[in-house]
């Protein structure tokens, strides 16, 4: 995406309101169990996980609704759950996110679908999913339930501009219900977006405004493999549009981005920015939510797809399903435009931003320094710090603070310049200044999960350590790149040249 495109999209995004959007689909409760994987079992060649923590999140269509709420929409969710403890947990998560659950129907004959994932962590590296256990029933639902959904959905379709169908092939979204939704929406002039299941026959979705399969789903449904000689995304998209009368086909192609084809018009690839892919879970849901939000505001498909690329790209950089807010997307677009000032924040602004981050269980990392003349050692240090979590806050000594620590000739670069350079680094999420000689007060305001200092602090007191550890966090020491320091650079620059 070019800078001017980003500017045009940002102008549209900043004018978004809070439309009602209907999401219909399979409801899932995601259960995560986290633990340390430090040894193999003596009973079998499998890792032993020492449980540390667990959490629950909404999955499936419920996740799409929560993502829509994070983007500022007013989602109405319709789906099927059981009458069990997992249903109560799921409803509580949805209520907390502000999702309207009036059209969720309970059945005593089916459990609420639940996916339990075992997540291992070894040697303080990235979390890794090791096992998933599914508890569900995927048999087709009976006629009575379909009739109940029809009665509940009809007035809701009438009141919203966009309907999302999120199909995981769990037995609810069969040909009867999908075609009921699509036909009624067509009659009322509504937009229907479909995120399809991994199935070979898309006839249940026939006539939808747009369909958003990923590469694997599209290959199965079209019978065309992109690995075949001369195969192109246009073949997959064109065949799906022709066979099922879709208005638009949007293929999500992982690192390549998304391919958009509208009707019989020539399609185009919309590339995405290179990302550090951490976890693809939830990326498709985030794309669907962003597309729905975009077309609800009348954006053309090309612009909606570009926004979907940005939202999906941010999602894969997080572990698990983490809602991406409208502000985060604005910040990303500002970054594409070359504007870094959004990263430079005051302490009150930072605290507000962290409230949102912590609701989505993002791990906050803090480090600090003078960063007077940025060099390779700084860059490597900050990249190490960012890898320890999801958000890296960089605290920077003010000019007065630096003079107190380094003497009257420092800093070489003023605070505004030092912060601007740091904000230009991808590793830094937010840059904030402090006036004291140590960042202890700032650390207490931020309360990071992880505090990073250089390895030269192995035998020294670390400002803020007690506060961080008292609140359940930890200190990590980062390796230094030998021979790189600002003081040494300044000294060498002052040396007389050899005659």
**How far apart (Å, rounded) are the C-alpha atoms in residues 317 and 394?**
19
The pLDDT value recorded for residue 21 is 98
pLDDT of residue 492: 52
More confident position, 484 or 130: 130
Phi, psi of 340 (to 5 degrees): -100, -5
CB 209 within 8 A of CB 262: no
Q: Give the residue ranges of DSSP H helices in 16-130.
A: 61-70, 85-97
User: What average pLDDT does this structure show over 400-405?
Assistant: 92
For tokens 């006629």, name the residue: 143
Please give the CATH superfamily to which domain 341-494 belongs: HUPs (3.40.50.620)
Rounded to an integer, the average pLDDT of 309-336 is 79
DSSP tag of 141: P
- Kind plus residue range of the DSSP H or E element containing 376: helix 376-387
Superfamily per CATH, domain 3-26+59-99+143-336: Ribokinase (3.40.1190.20)
Q: What is the pLDDT of residues 143-164, one digit of tens each?
A: 999 999 999 999 999 999 999 9
Average pLDDT over residues 85-110: 95
Q: Where in the chain is the domain with CATH 3.40.50.620?
A: 341-494
Q: Strand 248-252 to strand 210-211: parallel, antiparallel, or no bridges (unpaired)?
A: parallel
Residue 440 has which token pair?
């202890």
pLDDT digits (tens, 9 = 90+) for 410-442: 898 999 899 999 988 889 999 999 999 999 999
DSSP state of 343: G
Does residue 36 carry a catalytic annotation? Answer: no
What phi and psi, each to the nearest 5 degrees, are found at residue 226? -70, -10
Measure the CA–CA gap between 353 and 331, rounded to whole angstroms.
12
Give CA–CA dist 480/483, Å, rounded: 9
Average pLDDT over residues 342-369: 83
- Within 10 angstroms of residue 251's Cβ, the number of other Cβ atoms is 27
Closest CA to 21 of 210, 246, 191, 207: 191
246-to-22, 186, 193, 239, 485 alpha-carbon distances in Å: 19, 12, 10, 10, 60
pLDDT, mean of residues 100-114: 94
Stated pTM of the model: 0.69
Of residues 56 and 8, the one with the higher pLDDT is: 56
Residue 242: the pLDDT is: 95
pLDDT (average), residues 310-337: 78
pLDDT over threshold 60, residue 47: yes
Q: Catalytic residue among 100, 285, 372, 449, which?
A: 285
Other CB atoms within a 10 A radius of the CB of residue 366 amount to: 28
Confidence of residue 499 (pLDDT cuts 50, 70, 90): very low
Q: Are 99 and 126 in contact (CB under 8 A)?
A: no
Domain span(s) for CATH 3.40.1190.20 in the chain: 3-26+59-99+143-336
């Amino acid at each position: 995406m070019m800078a001017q495109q980003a500017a045009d999209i940002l102008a549209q995004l900043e004018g978004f309101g809070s439309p009602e959007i209907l999401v219909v689909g399979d409801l899932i409760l995601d259960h995560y169990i986290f633990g340390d994987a430090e040894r193999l079992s003596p009973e079998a060649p499998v890792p032993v996980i020492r449980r540390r923590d667990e959490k629950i999140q909404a999955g499936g269509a419920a996740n799409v609704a929560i993502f829509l709420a994070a983007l500022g929409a007013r989602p109405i969710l319709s789906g099927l759950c059981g009458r069990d403890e997992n249903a109560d947990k799921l409803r509580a998560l949805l209520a907390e996110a502000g999702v309207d659950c009036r059209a969720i129907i309970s059945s005593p004959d089916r459990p609420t679908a639940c996916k339990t994932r075992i997540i291992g962590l070894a040697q303080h590296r990235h979390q890794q999913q090791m096992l998933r256990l599914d508890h569900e029933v995927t048999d087709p639902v009976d006629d009575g339930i379909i009739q109940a959904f029809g009665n509940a959905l009809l007035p809701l379709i009438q009141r919203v501009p966009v309907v999302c169908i999120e199909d995981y092939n769990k037995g609810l979204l069969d040909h009867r219900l999908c075609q009921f939704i699509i036909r009624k929406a067509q009659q009322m002039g509504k937009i229907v977006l479909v995120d399809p299941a991994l199935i070979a026959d898309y006839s249940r979705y026939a006539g939808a405004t747009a369909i958003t399969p990923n590469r694997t789903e599209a290959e199965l449904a079209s019978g065309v493999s992109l690995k075949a000689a001369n195969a192109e995304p246009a073949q997959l998209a064109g065949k799906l549009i022709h066979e099922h009368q879709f208005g638009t086909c949007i293929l999500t192609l992982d690192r390549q981005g998304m391919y958009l084809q509208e009707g019989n018009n020539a399609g185009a690839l919309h590339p995405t920015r290179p990302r550090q892919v951490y976890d693809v879970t939830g990326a498709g849901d985030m794309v669907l939510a962003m597309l729905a939000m975009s077309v609800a505001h009348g954006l053309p498909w090309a612009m909606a797809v570009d926004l979907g690329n940005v939202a999906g790209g941010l999602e894969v950089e997080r572990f698990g399903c983490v809602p991406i807010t409208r502000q985060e997307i604005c910040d990303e677009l500002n970054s594409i435009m070359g504007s870094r000032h959004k990263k430079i924040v005051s302490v009150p602004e930072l605290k507000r931003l962290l409230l949102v981050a912590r609701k989505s269980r993002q791990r906050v990392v803090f480090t600090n320094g003078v960063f007077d003349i940025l060099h390779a050692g700084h860059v490597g240090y900050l990249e190490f710090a960012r890898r320890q979590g999801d958000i890296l806050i960089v605290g920077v000594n003010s000019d007065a603070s630096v003079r107190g620590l380094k003497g009257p000739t420092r800093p070489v670069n003023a605070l505004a310049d030092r912060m601007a350079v740091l904000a230009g680094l991808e590793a830094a999420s937010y840059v904030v200044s402090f006036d004291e000689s140590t960042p202890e007060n700032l650390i207490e305001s931020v309360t990071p999960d992880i505090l990073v200092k250089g390895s030269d602090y192995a035998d020294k007191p670390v400002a803020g350590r007690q506060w961080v550890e008292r609140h359940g966090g930890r200190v990590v020491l980062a390796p230094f790149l030998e021979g790189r320091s600002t003081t040494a650079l300044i000294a060498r620059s002052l040396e007389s040249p050899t005659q």
